[in-house]
Amino acid sequence: MAPAEPRSFGAVIKAYVALTKPRVIELLLITTLPVMFLAADGLPPLWRALSVMVFGTLSAGSANALNCYIDRDIDVKMRRTRKRPLARHQVTPRAALVFGVVLGILSVVGMWVTTNLLAAALNLSAILFYVFVYSMVLKRRTSQNIVWGGLAGCMPVVIGWSGITGGLDWTPLVLFGVVFFWTPPHTWTLAMRYKEDYAAASIPMLPVVATERRVVLESIAYTWATVACSLLLWPVADTTLLYPIVAAVLGAFCLIEVYRLLGRLNAGKSGVDLRPMRFFHWSNAYLALLFLAVAIDPLLA
């Protein structure tokens, strides 16, 4: 079937924007901006912060567009992804590839010119890891794909910090750990909801190849690790009492939600009756509110 080009300029723009997966970018920016407040110990320089956000957005858009190019054969098999531009033949594979590469070049060069070499190098490594390690190797070969592939999603934390300070420290590494431990249960609960999709596309996500009990128990373990790592920021970054209080409260709610999954499982429920999307949506709110506390805390010191 020949690709059908969008009929209007607006439709073309919409298709290319969709290639960048804006909702995923929003989640990445939620972790980038607050870290810059922490790195600056208050309000970060406006121009530097804007540069990191703009070129970080281009970086994430590049990685996502290239991921769409690589996954075009499986996206058509999954209900959740079959409306993406390549699956609907709104953009040609070659155009998507060129678009992703151009965005990547602009993001790295722009980050280098407006911030520093370290931030640009971390930016480049995030793109390369997501495309070549996660999308091309891990995703289709191992049930631990999102565990190690999730490292790319942790990179905005260290990029934001290095963009302001020009270096790295234990503080951004702790927050890197928070995102690392948060990613598997967040993604696995989504995969539980779309288990049939991943199975149809032969993607060995943990919920596809393991029992629901194993998925829930591993989600509990990673959630405990997330909460513990979030509290570690208090002594490492020497925050005010606001941050640990918020982190503890949010962590408690997150643990309650993940244990509710276990409770439903023990009650004999399975599949959609486990209500995995409830935890998925709460985990989104958890990360956003936790990093909001990260941004507000240095303003109170």
- CATH number, domain of 227, equals 1.20.120.1780
For residue 2, tell me if it sits in a domain.
Answer: no
Domain boundary among 165, 186, 212: 165
Per-residue pLDDT for 277 more than 70?
A: yes
Average pLDDT taken over every residue of the chain: 94
Domain that holds residue 239: 169-301
Per-residue pLDDT for 280 more than 70?
A: yes
Percent of the chain with pLDDT over 70: 98
Distance (Å) of CA 174 to CA 28, 35, 64, 114, 234: 16, 11, 25, 26, 10
Q: Are residues 159 and 16 in the same domain?
A: yes
Which of 258, 241, 253, 242 lies closest to 285, judged by CA?
A: 253
Total tally of structural domains belonging to the chain: 2
159 or 301: whose pLDDT is higher? Answer: 159
**What's the number of CA atoms in the CB half-sphere (13 Å) around residue 278?**
15
Confidence (pLDDT) at 27: 83
Domain boundary among 115, 140, 165: 165
Domain boundary among 165, 197, 223: 165
Per-residue pLDDT for 264 more than 90?
A: yes
pTM over 0.85: yes
